[in-house]
């Protein structure tokens, strides 16, 4: 029998993307809830327990409530919210981080899908911590450029409104309280002793010590950049040595790759990988400074693509099924 899949929260940005990715597939059966009953707790509980695997595309508290509704011990869950990313009993859904991560996901009943900003940061930092190039207690700074789709339907409508605030055409820095909701997973999964300093940016420009000029007012695509002063790292590695370390670490991966040193071209466009489940690391710099930029689709490897990849592993399908 085909495994039965239920998407709780199919109407949201991530839920719709997962639905669109799964609809053409013939190896699963999608369980759909009647539109008028989608907020009915009894009907939702029925669907949650009837499915072999559930995607939760909900606000954090609603995701916790949905998990509490599941009585079926065989129902497996992928939570796309922030609710369970650092919770005990949940596996972090980033299989490329290590063979251990991939094996845990494959046998897991509860998988937390990574956050979009966190995906880029962790893809860059986790290997360098594991390899001893970044100490766990090293203070880190990062910035992340994103299309406005990450803010969901409300922010998309706000940006696409012909009478929108004219300031939306410029860079918009948010998370200025330095308590962005992805910070706990960025610290825990990367293996850092301290929370990284992190300010996300919408559609525009950030000016950290190592400066990349960025242009664009766009819906989708993400570039998350980690900034390193090489003389503060053990052994003072050069940017080329950091590039080689990351290239070796991710060698052979399908969805995570490392560009030639300095990138594929002298500039980085944050929407380059839109529509794919690819994440590409770009290492730039010299003897004294290094930047590592993770380039990916915030709705792809940063959300729905990663969720489908995790589903494939959990259900024993080819990891690449339905993904580019």
Same domain, 291 and 195: yes
Q: What does the pLDDT read at residue 208?
A: 24
Tens digit of each residue's pLDDT (9 = 90 or more) over 187-207? 888 876 666 654 544 322 122
Residue 321 lies in a domain: no
The total of structural domains in the chain comes to 2
User: Is 310 found in the same domain as 258?
Assistant: no
Which residues, 6 or more positions from 302, have their beta carbon under 8 angstroms from its beta carbon?
Answer: 114, 115, 116, 117, 119, 120, 150, 222, 296
Do 42 and 154 belong together in one domain? no
pLDDT for the residue numbered 211:
28
| C-alpha–C-alpha distance, residues 256 and 97, integer Å | 10
The pLDDT, as a whole number, for residue 313 is 98
* Distance (Å, whole) CA 213 – CA 284: 14
116 catalytically annotated: yes
C-alpha R_g of the chain: 20
Nearest to residue 164, comparing CAs of 155, 176, 174?
155
Contacts for 281 with CB less than 8 Å, ≥ 6 apart: 123, 124, 246, 250, 256, 257, 258, 259, 292, 293, 294, 295
The pLDDT tens digits of the residues spanning 88-134 come to 999 999 999 999 999 999 999 999 999 998 999 999 999 998 999 98
Spot the catalytic one: 116, 141, 203, 284: 116
DSSP 114-163: PPHHHHHHHHHHHHHHHTTSS-TT---EEEEEE-GGGGHHHHHHHHH-TT
Whether 93 contacts 78, CB under 8 Å = yes
Structural contact between residues 60 and 81, judged by C-beta atoms closer than 8 angstroms: yes
Residue 311 binned pLDDT confidence (cut-offs 50, 70, 90): very high
Mean pLDDT over all residues of the chain?
Answer: 89
CATH code at position 22: 3.40.50.720
48 with 166, same domain: the answer is: no
pLDDT in tens, 119-173: 999 999 999 989 999 888 788 888 889 888 877 788 888 888 899 888 888 877 7
Give residue-wise pLDDT tens across range 206-258. 222 222 323 335 779 999 999 999 999 999 999 999 999 999 999 999 999 99
Tell me what pLDDT residue 177 has: 76
pLDDT at 272 over 70: yes
Mean pLDDT check: name the lowest of 32-41, 181-190, 199-208. 199-208
Tokens of 65: 């409530």
One domain for residues 144 and 268: yes
Considering the domain boundaries, does residue 320 fall inside one? no
Range of the domain at 85: 4-114+303-315
Distance CA 13, CA 11 (A): 7
The answer as to whether 259 is a domain residue is yes
Tell me the CB-side half-sphere exposure of residue 4, using CA atoms within 13 A: 13
Q: What is the model's pLDDT at position 217?
A: 58
Claim to verify: residue 123 and residue 19 sit in the same structural domain: no
The CATH number of the domain holding residue 178 is 3.30.360.10
151 with 217, same domain: the answer is: yes
249 located within any domain:
yes
Average pLDDT over residues 71-87: 96
Supply the pLDDT for residue 179: 73
CB 259 within 8 A of CB 277: no
> Mean pLDDT, to the nearest integer, of 251-266?
97
Does residue 258 fall inside a structural domain? yes
Percent of the residues in the chain that have a pLDDT greater than 70, as a whole number: 92
Q: Which residues contact 318 (CB under 8 A, 6 or more apart)?
A: 312
Residue 103 shares a structural domain with residue 174:
no
Residues 132 and 176 in one domain: yes
Q: What is the per-residue pLDDT for 273?
A: 98
In a domain, 324, yes or no: no
Query: In terms of domains, do 82 and 152 share one?
Result: no
Query: 108 in a domain, yes or no?
Result: yes
Residues 136 and 37 in one domain: no
pLDDT at residue 301, as a whole number: 98
**pLDDT score at 197:** 58
Instruction: Label residue 6 left, alpha or beta by phi (over 0 means left) and psi (-120 to 50 means alpha).
Output: beta
Position 323 in a domain? no
For residue range 54-72, list pLDDT tens digits in order: 999 999 999 999 999 999 9
Indicate if 152 and 280 belong to the same structural domain: yes
């Amino acid at each position: 029998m085909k495994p039965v899949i239920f998407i709780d929260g199919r109407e949201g940005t991530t839920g719709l993307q997962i639905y669109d990715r799964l609809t053409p597939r013939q190896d699963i059966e999608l369980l759909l809830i009647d539109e008028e009953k989608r907020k009915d707790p009894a009907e939702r509980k029925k669907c949650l327990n009837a499915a072999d695997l559930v995607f939760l595309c909900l606000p954090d508290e609603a995701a916790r409530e949905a998990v509490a509704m599941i009585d079926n011990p065989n129902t497996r869950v992928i939570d796309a919210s922030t609710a369970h990313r650092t919770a005990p009993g949940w596996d972090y859904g980033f299989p490329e981080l290590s063979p251990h991560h991939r094996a845990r996901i494959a046998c897991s009943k509860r998988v937390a899908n990574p956050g979009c900003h966190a995906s880029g940061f962790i893809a860059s930092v986790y290997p360098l911590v594991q390899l001893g190039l970044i100490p766990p207690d090293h203070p880190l700074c990062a910035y992340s450029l994103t299309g406005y789709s990450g803010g969901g339907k409300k922010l998309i409508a706000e940006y696409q409104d012909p009478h929108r605030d004219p300031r939306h055409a410029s860079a918009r820095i948010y998370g200025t309280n330095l308590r962005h909701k992805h910070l706990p997973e960025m610290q825990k999964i990367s293996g850092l002793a301290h929370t990284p300093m992190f300010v996300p940016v919408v559609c525009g420009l950030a000016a950290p010590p190592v400066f990349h000029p960025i242009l664009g007012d766009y819906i989708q695509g993400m570039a998350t950049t980690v900034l390193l002063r090489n003389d503060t790292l053990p052994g003072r590695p050069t940017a080329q040595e950091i590039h080689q370390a990351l290239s070796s670490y991710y060698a052979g991966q399908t969805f995570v790759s490392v560009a030639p040193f300095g990138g594929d071209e002298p500039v980085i466009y944050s929407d380059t990988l839109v529509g794919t489940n690819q994440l590409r690391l770009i290492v730039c710099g010299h003897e004294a400074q290094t930047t590592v930029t993770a380039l990916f689709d915030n709705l792809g490897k940063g959300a729905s693509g990663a969720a489908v990849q995790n589903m494939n592993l959990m259900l024993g399908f080819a990891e690449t099924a339905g993904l580019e």
